[in-house]
Chain A
Amino acid sequence: QVHLVQSGGEVKKPGASVKVSCETSGYTFTDYGISWVRQAPGQGLEWIGWINVYSGDTNFAQEFQDRVTLTTDTYTRTVYMELRSLGSDDTAVYFCARGEWELNYLDYWGQGTLVTVSS
């Protein structure tokens, strides 16, 4: 059974960075990529970017490409998202989700990680 389990909530100050993990199980890790999506309080879904777990290639939404990094650890089957230069508008729940390609539907999702940016 496919599972994506994310790290716990974080509280950060403006200007800081945050790194969220997504540990996967239940499928061949390198057969699928991982997208990251965020949801601000009471708002809709916003796609951040995607990583090809096999090659390490990444694609990002334009508004995030200068301050987000996606990495993988094949041995622990874990994907990481690091977001830098945090502002209050980065306060959101961050989800990882499985998607075969950068342009694809997302069939399994992590439980979400709340990142709060506050001084």
Chain B
Amino acid sequence: EIVMTQSPATLSVSPGGGATLSCRASQSVTTNLAWYQQKLGQAPRLLIYDASIRAPGIPPRFSGSGSGTEFTLTISTVESGDFAVYYCQQYSKWPPGITFGQGTRLEIK
């Protein structure tokens, strides 16, 4: 099974600051990696796919990078609407199919 580990569990950032979220895979997933944002009581929203491609409508302050086992989601200038939980997801191998990280909570400092 491919285990996805996100760090940190919680990240405290002031509005206007930058944020860097990490995701590590237990084995290589090449670039088959997506990032999602989930606000309380809502469904997840796709931000990034194929490790670095922004989904339609996602602002350029969100960027993804990495390949193999190490991935990063960067928010260049955090806005008030960005405080949420962020999940990474790999879609590289069968089995086990799709697996998610445990999430990083971005909170207001």
**Which residues of A are interface residues toward B (Cβ below 8 A)?**
35, 37, 44-47, 49-50, 59-62, 95, 97, 102-112
Q: Which 5 pairs across A and B sit closest by C-beta, in order of nearness?
A: A105-B34, A109-B43, A105-B49, A47-B98, A45-B100
**Which residues of B are interface residues toward A (Cβ below 8 A)?**
32, 34, 36, 43-46, 49-50, 55, 87, 89, 91-103
The 21 listed contacts between A and B (C-beta, < 8 Å) are: A37-B98, A44-B100, A45-B87, A45-B100, A46-B100, A47-B100, A50-B98, A59-B97, A61-B98, A62-B95, A62-B96, A95-B43, A97-B43, A97-B44, A103-B91, A103-B92, A103-B98, A104-B91, A105-B34, A106-B89, A107-B46
Assess the B87–A44 pair: CB atoms within 8 A: yes
Most buried by A among B34, B96, B97: B97
Contact residue among B94, B99, B100 (Cβ-Cβ distance under 8 Å from A102): B94
Whose C-beta in chain B lies nearest to the C-beta of A101?
A: B91
Most buried by A among B43, B55, B93: B43
- Interchain nearest-CB distance for A7 vs B (Å): 15
Q: Which residues of B contact A62 (CB under 8 A)?
A: 95-96
Assess the A106–B100 pair: CB atoms within 8 A: no
Assess the A44–B102 pair: CB atoms within 8 A: yes
- Complex-state Cα separation, A109 to B43, whole angstroms: 6
Q: Which residues of B contact A37 (CB under 8 A)?
A: 98
Assess the B46–A102 pair: CB atoms within 8 A: no
Most buried by B among A37, A60, A110: A37
